[in-house]
């Protein structure tokens, strides 16, 4: 996974849209701490936003091609993560209501403005944009990790299924081998209980008891001199003598 670069305020681009060149120059000087692009045409601004990423867009309300509320509403529709600021020389209640309801604008700068206020408003917008973008990157990283975990689990499930098939095939092969033996063969655990027996050993069983000494010899306890007991005690392999072979 490629390391994603953190979005910083200085890296975030600002776009100012105002048909008055003097306003654009003044804003650019005031906000010279950040990368800023100015534009006098709304239509040109829409083209610029399609070509590069902006974190904050500031627009005047009164413009010839399209008013600022309509323009910022279109920006919000296309790029909801971009933070928008409306310049207005008209403190008209209807304008503010349109800006809030239609464009989702929460930041306003009245003309004329105090430079400190403009810097504070833009700085707050940049910080909010940065938080949104970082959250998006973290969310994408989390989603990517989750996708990797899902893929890993699927691979593990496939491997487990393949291993189960291999073990099943090996067991069938092993079981077929002991069934093909002409001599009786039984497998028992440390408590003398039957684990497996081939067909010949099954035919020689005298009852359905799970204990070898009962089902094979009708004995009430392990046979005297039982090689299995000696094997358990000594840890060395031995064979029984007689009709039944222990393993």
pTM of the model: 0.58
Span of 47-61, 103-117, 162-176 with lowest mean pLDDT = 103-117
Q: What pLDDT, on a 0 to 100 scale, did the predictor assign at position 93?
A: 66
Span of 127-141, 142-156, 197-211, 214-228 with lowest mean pLDDT = 214-228
pLDDT of 145 above 60? yes
pLDDT of 240 above 50? no
pLDDT of 153 above 80? yes
What is the Cα–Cα distance from 159 to 157, expressed in whole angstroms?
5
pLDDT of 202 above 50? yes
> pLDDT > 90: what percent of the chain?
44
| Mean pLDDT, range 167-177, rounded to an integer | 89
Beta bridge partner(s), residue 87: 60, 109
Q: In the block, which residue shows the tokens 């969310």?
A: 139
Q: How confident is the model at residue 15 (pLDDT cuts 50, 70, 90)?
A: very high
| Mean pLDDT, range 163-181, rounded to an integer | 89
Q: How confident is the model at residue 192 (pLDDT cuts 50, 70, 90)?
A: confident
């Amino acid at each position: 996974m490629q390391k994603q670069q953190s979005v910083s305020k200085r890296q975030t681009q600002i776009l100012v849209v105002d048909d008055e060149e003097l306003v654009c120059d003044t804003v650019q000087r005031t906000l010279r701490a950040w990368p800023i692009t100015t534009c006098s045409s709304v239509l040109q601004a829409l083209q610029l936003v399609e070509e590069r990423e902006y974190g904050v867009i500031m627009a005047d309300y009164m413009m010839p091609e399209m008013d600022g509320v309509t323009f910022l509403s279109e920006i919000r529709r296309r790029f909801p993560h971009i933070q928008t600021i409306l310049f207005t020389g008209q403190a008209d209640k209807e304008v503010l209501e349109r800006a809030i309801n239609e464009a989702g604008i929460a930041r306003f700068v009245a003309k004329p403005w105090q430079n400190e206020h403009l810097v504070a408003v833009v700085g707050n917008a940049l910080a909010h944009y940065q938080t949104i973008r970082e959250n998006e990157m973290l969310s994408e990283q989390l989603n990517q990790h989750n996708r990797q975990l899902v893929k890993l689990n699927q691979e593990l499930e496939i491997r487990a299924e393949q291993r189960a098939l291999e073990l099943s095939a090996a067991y069938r092969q092993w079981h077929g081998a002991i069934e093909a033996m002409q001599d009786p063969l039984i497998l028992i655990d440390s408590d003398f209980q039957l684990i497996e027996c081939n067909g010949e050993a099954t035919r020689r069983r005298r009852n359905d008891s799970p204990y070898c000494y009962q089902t094979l010899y009708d004995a009430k306890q392990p046979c005297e001199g039982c090689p299995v007991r000696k094997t358990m005690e000594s840890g060395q392999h031995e064979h029984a003598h007689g009709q039944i072979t222990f393993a």
